[in-house]
Amino acid sequence: MDARQRLFSPVRLGPIQTPNRFVKCATYETRGRRGLVTDELIAWHREFAAGGTGTCTLAYCAVAGEGRTFPDQIVVNDAAAPGLARFADTMHTAGARAAIQLGHAGWFADPHATGVRPLGPSKMFAPKGLRWSRPFASGDFARVRDEFARAARLAVDAGFDGLEVHVGHGYLLSQFLSPYNNRRRDGYGGSVENRSRFPREVVCAVRAAIGDRAALWIKLNMEDGFGGGLTVDDGLEVARLFERDGALDAIQLTGGHTTKSPMFLMRGATPLAELIANQPTAFQRAVMRVVMPRVVRSYDFEEAFFLPTARRFRAAVKLPLMLLGGVTKLSTMTRAMDEGFDFIALGRALIRQPDLVRRLEAGSLDASPCTPCNQCMAHVGVRPTVCPFHEAERAESDPRYLSGRL
């Protein structure tokens, strides 16, 4: 079977089989309401499933209310369970596997959404809420670990086939890995092994909670993308430690830090004016007008921009790896298969063209039409995530389609 055939053929991922090697990576949808799944959220993901994507990931579901970054963010609890079950069932009916991303924002949580002081590895000033975070105390480790395990068990009971634990982008578990956020002097700080201890404990607890009922992977930072953060060498050691624990079925490789290098992941244009305008209060907007132009660095877009670094991880571990980061061309995808990568994770490319996988397989496209304008992420947390070009095409092809979002 050649690389192209492997892309579009069923494959094992831990205890499950996926229809193909394409994963809709977790990109926050802004379609939850009051912490619950909505019909609009399900319909948005159904387009990807019906368009040929083998595994569709419901983005950033908080394991506890204190871990939210937005007020309407889904919290994985009993109240959310019926909607989660409808989501999973819809993905299955459309021919895809259903995955869910479990996370906790930690120091980056929004106090306006949570009502409590942010919690992080160390005491630091939190830019999201403009206040000091509370450092983890001894009792927080078991409590948060149990919240991840409980959320995982609930998600699998609701019918999800795959669980992704968020260990990237400067959220809580990534904060423990990053020397920028983690200044602890106990067994959870200092060396790479110590800084990785709590994220690894969480992943092992999740595996113990779900057994072999679902596939389990992490979204792992290869690097934070700024001086003083997690380095590639540190990231390689972390990946080896996770592999040694034996709890994972795969790793999805990523990079960047939400507050220090936010565009390291979203390379291309930087919609700075929109990002500032979407801050929740006038005071935060005023602060961000001063701060953001100084700290938000732009990165030129290059197709498959994480691939050179990802190759080092491919050489370092044997676990299946999901390649992410501006992969737009079929030729790059097949090359990644030949180089030993196991899955292709797509975000903006699918938002631009929800049936991209079907079109690639049929031969009607050989690359995504996405231009990295990043307008799809400019209003995250404020309005539903959409591609304005895709919306315009839909409106033009069907006059009855009035989204109200252009």
- Residues acting as catalytic residues: 171
- On whether the CB atoms of residues 381 and 25 are closer than 8 A, the answer is no
Please give the Cα distance from 366 to 67 (Å, whole number): 40
Closest alpha carbon to 238 in 206, 194, 208: 194
Distances (CA, A) of 6 to 64, 75, 150, 332, 341: 38, 36, 35, 14, 11
Closest alpha carbon to 260 in 290, 303, 230: 230
Q: Which ranges of 257-319 would DSSP assign to H, the alpha helix? A: 272-277, 282-295, 307-316
CB-count exposure of residue 87 (10 Å: 0-12, 13-18, 19+)? buried
Q: CB neighbours of 228 closer than 8 A, spacing ≥ 6?
A: 179, 180
Strand partners, 55: 23, 97
Helix and strand element counts for the chain (H, E):
16, 14
